[in-house]
Chain A
Amino acid sequence: MQDSRRYLDPKVVDRLERLEVKARLIVEGFLQGAHESPYRGVSVEFAEHREYVPGDDLRHLDWKVYGRSDKYFIKQYQEETNLRCLIALDTSGSMRFPEGFDTTRYQYGTLLAAALSLLLLRQRDAAGLALFDTSVHHFVEPQSRPAHLSSIVKTLETGARAAETRTSLLPVLNDLAERTHRRSLIVLISDFFAPVADTLKGLARLRSRKHDVLLLQLLTPEELTFEFARNTQYKFVGLENSGELRVDPRAMKGEYLEALANFRKELRRGCLKERVDFESIDTSVSLDKPLTAILSRRARRATRR
């Protein structure tokens, strides 16, 4: 049987055309993997029975009840009706980095969003999508129907727009807070290259609405290492009209990495304070890590209830 774990490598799966296919392959790979499947480990607790109506999935018939009562009843699980997850994906200019390479940050984010959506929908959780740059420009209400995946995928495929303006997260987060009435798990996927104070303020707003928030910061290897092999000057051009600079990167490496580390440290600290989960993801690594992180949060949430 073909090893589907290879589709966890974003470079591999990105060669496929259809996002839905990609998502399914990612999920299969994820589930096939040697790591603990949070799906299996998640306690899907039986909540109650309800009478069978035609059309229900026969796999959920409780045959024991039938044996005792000669009547057909469907098992209902607690999660089917409890978890709502909204995946918010940044589509701003900075997410197009690195341009011209195999997998941009946005492409990684879409893979992650699609795979996550499929996983959630399989578990009968409600999954929704929000795309944003300076504001939320696409919103798909969370639903738990399996067919809802196609809506999410279609939005992911067509929803990105050429935004050049600078990302400001506070209005976006406020908007999300307004749109999400029911308590949800909000997964924010972005580079978070924006003023940290504004971001934290927005996160605080979301937390005040009792939402669980998970930050997935996507960073490319280039940004993390700042390694440039050629012995020449480089002209760095900001992707969101943030300026340009001509410099020998080797001379700037130490200071740049220090500035980036300080930013990440500040963001992490702020998230900790707001009780927001934070994960920094290297876009060159396999997708199982972010998926694990998300589903772990889901499981913890389920057990708290």
Chain B
Amino acid sequence: MTLLAFLHPALVGFAALAVVPLVIHLLNRRRYRTVPWAAMDFLLAAYKKKRKRLELENLLLLLLRCAIPVVLALVFARPYFGADSLLANLAEPRREVVVVVDDSYSMSRHVGATTQFQAALEQCRRLAGSLDFERGDRVSLVTLSREPQLLVVSGGPADLERRLAALQRPTYEPADLGRTLDLLLDDLLKQIPAAPEIWLISDFQRRTFDESARAGAPAAAAPAAPAAAAPRDGAPAAGEGTATTLGKLQRLSQQSRLHLVNLSDGTLPPENLAVTDLRASDPLALVGQSMRFTATVARSGRMPSGAGRFRIGDKEFQKTFTFDAEKKATAEIYYTCAQPGDVGVEFRLDEDELADDDARFMRIPVKQGLPILVVDGKPGGTDDRLGGDAWNVVLVLDPRFGESDPSEDYRRWFEPTVVPWYELTQARPEFSKYDAVVFVNVPEIDPQKVLPELQTFVETGGGALFFLGDKVLPEKYNEHLFRGDGSGLLAMRLADKPAGTPWSPQTTTLNSPDNYFRLEIADELHPAVRTFNDDRRRGFLRSPVFAYWPFAPEADAALPRDTRVVLRFENNQAPALVDHRVGRGRTLWSAVSGAADDWSLFSRTPSAFFPLVWDMLNFLAVRDPGEHDLTVGAAIAKSVLLPPATAAMTTPDGRARPLGDLPRAAVRGEYRLPVFPETRVPGIYSLDVTYGGDDAPLRELYAVNVDARESELKFLDQQQATSVFDRVAIASYGREISIENGSKEPERQGEIWKRLALALLALVVLEMVLAWRFGRYTS
């Protein structure tokens, strides 16, 4: 309990103004008028008679004048006393109440006729009804969510009711107890008198209050660790243990009286289905190509099966599903997109106790094909486009490349265009017309005519794949494409010369694995090697490599930022395939030649080369992966390559909202549209951008989903809550607000500024009266 503290401690410093009257008094002693006087004897006699009384009067007036600024400063500093203070009896007895209402989306669960959120608001009103605002009781309102808010700070009944009436429903976001505690400790408690009552009204979802349920570790086992930046999805960062939130709760309970209101305690177990995932078989679809969409459903309760419906574009498809032993079920559908463009996909369940998790959304881009530019570093044959080093790659992308009359049924996934490398410098290369660019054994990238365009292309989301072969000039690559800060297209410098020995019938033998290099997966999760995650295919990677172009990392041997090693050589662990992020795009660097040459047999092994190239280019061709799938509350940011004329975002309720001031100038080749932060509701958001002239407008979809973890409807009962809050001092625990606790005469704690103000008034009046009485004022 606080013995004495101040609401505005900085204002206490103004009490130092008490020296002003003293200074004035001392200055006045040096300021006087000299008057020659004849009747001096009488004056001296009078002074002798009155001297002591005069000194006493002056002292009294000085003390009063010094006391006035001190009391005034205290009035504005608003001191308050705790109940233990000796001066507590001077304080105005009143209650300072803080209500923390859980407004995460689990609170929209129906229990009986109302939702948990409505029950929480009712508890708020009940608590407010027990307060005596005439006496000076005050209430603050805080929301417990991922973005907690101070809605009312030490307000009256009108403030509270206005805010409660505006809360129509909880947010679609999960709860974040840590952030809410930070808001209370670092903000609210500094604005209101000490030791308030804090009423925490929640459904006490286990994952909100028990961090062991979030992190999967036993409670209190993790040591206190420095707070790390949390990932965007709100999961605790590595190293942030129970101690952090628990420590905050302990601090809070020391500075206040903490009451817990568990709305879930005693209620029936939930019966709820939640769509926790929705994904497609490929990151993008081809017109006419069949895609598989899979929805995952989790269960709280005992339903053995369920039903839902896919909505793809404007078509709906009903599906049923059955739960396995893990309480998970999947629903699948195969769908062929007939038109290019973004398609919104939704899977929705029938409404149940908690409707907010009954749907999930995704966006799939649909294309006619993926135009790929293949730059041949060693063209060959009568047609420079065919037969060179790039031919191997081209055939992977389009096996019927160059055929004049393919059948009607033939659909190209990739649409390669082959150019000899030296033709790039003849005209300004238009990389933006392609989804990815492949450089096969290209000696160098022209630094004046090609590299600037290529750099912009990658930074604005494009992908480039480099196969390094015998034509490569490493010094040129190192000089023009490598930058020490990682912003260059080349992740790591190239060595001066290749490693290994090209195949030769005279010297190369395959009788021992030590005579050649073999590949292995370094990053299991990388999309470029997903085909080889299947153990049945993994062995194909071991196709012999006789020579390769090694990377030469910097002396400190740490990988550059935004760089991943996808494949490495099993023999010496040297990187074989490197993924490097540049801006919003990526480059892939293959130390293994992509040509069908004597550097490796790998490129001639269809079962290995084909799926690897396919997966790499699929990976590179998908622009802005993950930026179209967002959680509620995340902002939508988009850049375009042409100056926009108009831009609008259509929200799931059908309202189109202009984006505001559009950019007039490009920054690093892109026009950055205003950020759209209003993703408070899950669903499909549609961005429409038009340009001047004949340029086709842009339409892109964004899927905004709730955080599925909030659907884990496991709640703490009293025993579990007691265990979780073991080291936290709790004033009371119950299923509802206990009016009995509130009806007692509250502890005498609070402010005394009103009494101080009266004392100040009395001091001023007394000073005036005494000054007049002592004759210090002129008549």
* Interface residue ranges, A against B (CB under 8 Å): 93-99, 105, 191, 193, 220, 223, 229-240, 242-248, 250-256, 258-260, 263
Contacts and interface: CB of A to CB of B under 8 A. Distances in A.
A234 B41 CA distance: 16
19 contacts: A95-B38, A97-B38, A223-B38, A223-B39, A230-B33, A232-B31, A233-B31, A233-B33, A234-B35, A239-B40, A250-B777, A251-B54, A251-B57, A251-B774, A251-B775, A254-B775, A255-B50, A256-B42, A259-B42
Name A's interface SS: mixed
Contact of A251 (B34, B36, B776, B778): B776
A97 B37 contact: yes
Contacts of B44: 242-243, 245
B777 to A, nearest CB: 8
The 7 A-B pairs at the shortest CB distance, nearest first, are namely A255-B46, A238-B40, A97-B38, A94-B38, A259-B42, A233-B32, A242-B40
B769 to A, nearest CB: 16
B40 A243 contact: yes
Contacts of A237: 34-37
Given A97-B38, A232-B33, A259-B46, 16 more contacts: A193-B38, A193-B41, A231-B777, A231-B778, A232-B32, A235-B35, A236-B35, A238-B37, A239-B36, A239-B38, A245-B44, A250-B777, A251-B775, A252-B43, A258-B46, A259-B42
B34 A235 contact: yes
A239 B775 contact: no
Contacts of B29: 233
Nearest to B30: A233
A244 B38 CA distance: 11
B37 A239 contact: yes
A117 to B, nearest CB: 25
Nearest to A258: B46
A253 B42 CA distance: 11
Contacts of A230: 33
Contacts of B33: 230, 232-235
Nearest to B774: A251
Contacts of B45: 255, 259
B46 A98 contact: no
Contact of A255 (B36, B41, B49, B777): B49
A37 B46 CA distance: 42
B28 interface: yes
Contacts of B691: none
B38 A229 contact: no
A112 to B, nearest CB: 17
B335 interface: no
B776 A250 contact: yes
Given A233-B28, A255-B49, A191 B43 contact: no
A223 B54 CA distance: 21
B47 interface: yes
A226 to B, nearest CB: 9
A262 to B, nearest CB: 9
A250 B33 CA distance: 14
A95 B36 CA distance: 12
A36 B47 CA distance: 45
B775 A236 contact: no
A147 to B, nearest CB: 35
Contacts of B778: 229, 231, 250
Contact of A260 (B32, B35, B39, B57): B39
B181 to A, nearest CB: 59
Contacts of A255: 45-47, 49-50
Interface residues of B, number: 28
B37 to A, nearest CB: 4
Contacts of B50: 251-252, 255
Interface string B141-167: 000000000000000000000000000
Interface string B740-779: 0000000000000000000000000000000000111110
Given A245-B47, A252-B50, A98 B36 contact: yes
Given A236-B40, A263-B42, A252 B47 contact: yes
A253 B775 contact: yes
Contacts of B776: 248, 250-251
Contacts of B37: 97, 236-239
A67 B50 CA distance: 79
B45 to A, nearest CB: 5
A47 B41 CA distance: 51
Contact of A234 (B32, B40, B46): B32
Given A232-B28, A250-B778, A251-B57, A193 B43 contact: no
A209 B57 CA distance: 53
Contacts of B36: 96-99, 236-239
A235 B54 contact: no
A239 B40 CA distance: 8
B38 to A, nearest CB: 4
Contacts of B41: 193, 242, 259
Contacts of A251: 50, 54, 57, 774-776
A236 B50 CA distance: 16
Contacts of A93: 38
Nearest to B50: A255
Nearest to A255: B46
A235 B32 contact: yes
A89 B117 CA distance: 106
Contacts of B774: 251
B47 to A, nearest CB: 6
Contacts of A234: 32-35
Contacts of A243: 40, 44
Contacts of B43: 236, 245, 247, 252, 256, 259
Contacts of A95: 38
Nearest to B39: A223
A250 B46 CA distance: 12
Contact of A247 (B38, B39, B47): B47
B435 to A, nearest CB: 90
Contacts of A244: 40
Nearest to A99: B36
Given A232-B28, A252-B50, A260 B42 contact: yes
A245 B41 CA distance: 11
A1 B503 CA distance: 150
B264 to A, nearest CB: 74
Interface string B349-370: 0000000000000000000000
A229 B35 CA distance: 13
Interface in B5-29: 28-29
B768 to A, nearest CB: 14
Contacts of A193: 38-39, 41
Contacts of A98: 36
Contact of B38 (A105, A231, A250): A105
A44 to B, nearest CB: 40
A191 B775 CA distance: 28
B229 to A, nearest CB: 66
Interface string B639-652: 00000000000000
A167 B256 CA distance: 82
Given A233-B32, A234-B33, A252 B38 contact: no
Contacts of B38: 93-97, 105, 191, 193, 220, 223, 238-240
A255 B39 CA distance: 13
A280 to B, nearest CB: 13
Contacts of A191: 38-39
B614 to A, nearest CB: 99
Contacts of A242: 40-41, 44
Nearest to A219: B39
Nearest to A238: B40
A255 B778 CA distance: 17
B779 to A, nearest CB: 9
A251 B778 CA distance: 10
B53 to A, nearest CB: 9
Contacts of A235: 32-35
Contacts of A239: 36-38, 40
